[in-house]
Structure 1
Amino acid sequence: MNGSTADERLHGVFPIVTSPFHADGSPDTASLRRVADYVVRAGAQGCVYPAIASEFATLADGERESLTAVVAEAVNGRIPLVVGISAETPERSAALARQAAGLGAAALMIMAPRSAGTAADGVARFLDAALGGVALPVILQNAPPPLGSSLPAETVVEILRQVPRIAYVKEEVVPCGQRISALLAAAPGLAGVFGGAGGRFVLDELARGAAGSMPACEVTEIHVALYAAWRAGDRRQARDLFNRVLPLLNMGGVFRTPVTKRALLRRGLIAHPRHRDGNPELDQQDRAELDAILDDLAPLMTTSTRLAA
């Protein structure tokens, strides 16, 4: 399997940039630029777009390509950009991979569709065709349904054997920590395994040797501070930060995109909390609870934000 030298490896906090929409459901590119810029200024080691938390499955082909270009322009090479190329056909993924290379992406992230099945041979064939000849590091995402297939760790290891271009795995099938340990033990050639699942298990993942985490983007500076504390050996500070942000992570685990967008709206980064996916709406009490959580986190949200006129 392809590896990298230590100083080349992707590591740290790679937030998933959300896809803001106007009230009518059309893409809001001005808000998207603000969110991408905020993630950079908040100190993230990299970022990802588009992925599940970006509502990629709801984006039309033209929207997806244009919004990816917006994110690449906003990031402007300041941090590594991982471009998600998951799609229903290998031809579509390959086209997205070529666009990503042209935009200067640092890596590709792909999750084989459920139509590719759960057998290693079938998934590997799909990935071989989907990655084409684009010479960028590849992150294999293993996620639960409805978009993912919850591949067993043994299947992931076999896919890595058959598709040596894959350098990283994003593992977010629970129990995430145990699966990260299993992958690192069985596939020592991997450059790294990232945690996902909104960052709800990040301390366990880091303790097991994860390269980093790919959380949602609404409180990026808190995730960055937690990772910095862990890297510095200050486990108490890392745990204190985790305990403070956990109520938000738990609420995000239930509602997902609506929590991210309500938080970004409150922070002045997006103009409207509209989402296209099927996640449940927040009612009045949910919004009040989210406000209370964000009030508690306000001293930690140190990156300045501003909603442009």
Structure 2
Amino acid sequence: MSFKGVIPPVTTPFHADGSIDRDGFCVMVEHLVSSGVHGIIVGGTTGEYYAQSRDERVGLLKLAKTVVKGNVPMIAGVGAIRTEDCIEYALVSKDLKYDGILIGAPYYAVPTQLELANHALAIDKAANLPVMLYNYPGRTGTMMDLEFLDRVGRSANFCAIKESSGSMNQLHALARDYPHIDLFCGMDDQALEFFAWGAKGWVCGAGNCLPEEHLALYNACVVEKDFTKGRQIMSALLPLMRVLEQGGKFVQSIKFGCELAGLPAGPVRRPLRALDDEQKRELETTIRTLKAVIASITAKSQKRASENVIAINA
């Protein structure tokens, strides 16, 4: 299995009392599929899996599968502290016929590189599914460094990595020295740099509320190879990307973006707290501005393309 393109980790809408809004979740999944994204992740950080029980996580994996009906590839997040729990989620995903699994480092445990490799390889051995690694030391406390990559690279199932360390050295090493592991952007404010270095796609939380804009950058850089256009789109996206990566309110911002788009979101689960009114006003202005700018960029590009076709046929 080879993953590519824009793959959002779907949010989990909640009711006011904190229970899962299953109907809202179905709406979110249907929205993403119809928007043209290349796949979805269920059980990612953006979906607040860490604040859900085992039964809730399994229930969402099952529910998403019934909604997607094979229309796009599906990746299941199997993150947990204990290897045994990760294996359980991976086996559930296998039974549900997910296309792959997302493996991160066990948070808080801070394993060595050998321990981390043994953890990932144990999950791989049990499930035998395509694996997208998730390197996010800012959340887990553990970097997936070159020793780890060399060890897990012995299994062909480790076919992709969502790189979220923020380290340009790590980006360069992955692009240059690990071509057999497809590179995915996981640090939103570096998306243009990832695509310049040959990233196959973008795992983007804000793709929940702005799929067209994320697809616009992917298409410009990867499909059209037009990095002049890509820089223009990325410049428009950067104010939002900085809020997401540096503002400390990642999930809250994405859920508010969904609300602005008329999509179900609901509150975040504790211990997180919602955005305040000033943060909402600033975010609304940021989103409204970037949508207008990117729409203008893509419209001008389409007009030039049409004029070129007319000139060729004249």
TM-score, with normalisation over the residues of structure 1?
Answer: 0.87
Aligned pair partner of 2:177 in 163, 169, 186: 186
1:238 aligns with 2:230: yes
Number of residue equivalences: 290
**Counterpart AA for 1:237:** K
User: Which residue does the alignment assign to 2:312?
Assistant: none
1:113 aligns with 2:102: no
CA contact (8 A) 1:137 1:165 kept: yes
How big is each residue's C-alpha offset from its partner over 1:74-114, in whole Å with a ceiling of 9 and x where there is no partner? 22211111111111222211111121122221111111214
Aligned pair partner of 1:104 in 72, 97, 112: 97
User: Which residue does the alignment assign to 2:214?
Assistant: 223
CA contact (8 A) 1:55 1:277 kept: no
Post-superposition offset of 1:32: 0.9
Structure 1 gaps, min length 5: 1-7, 302-309
Q: Please provide the CA RMSD for this pair.
A: 2.1
Larger radius of gyration: 2
Aligned pair partner of 2:283 in 279, 285, 290: 290
How big is each residue's C-alpha offset from its partner over 1:206-257, in whole Å with a ceiling of 9 and x where there is no partner? 1112111101122111101110111212222222221222222222221101
1:143 aligns with 2:132: no
User: Aligned partners of 2:179, 2:238: CA distance in 1, in Å?
Assistant: 31
Higher normalized helix content (fraction of residues)? 2
CA distance change for structure 1 residues 111 and 23 in 2, over 3 Å: closer, same or farther?
A: same
User: Which residue does the alignment assign to 2:157?
Assistant: 165
Post-superposition offset of 1:200: 1.5
User: Which residue does the alignment assign to 2:309?
Assistant: none
How big is each residue's C-alpha offset from its partner over 1:162-218, in whole Å with a ceiling of 9 and x where there is no partner? 55532211110012x43122023333332x011112x21110001112111101122
CA contact (8 A) 1:92 1:130 kept: no
Q: How does 1:247-286 map to 2 (within 5 A)?
A: 247-253=239-245, 254=247, 255-270=249-264, 272=266, 274-279=267-272, 281-286=274-279
**Counterpart AA for 2:197:** R
How big is each residue's C-alpha offset from its partner over 1:136-161, in whole Å with a ceiling of 9 and x where there is no partner? 10111110233x23415323323324
Structure 2 gaps, min length 5: 296-314
TM-score, with normalisation over the residues of structure 2?
Answer: 0.85
**Counterpart AA for 2:173:** A
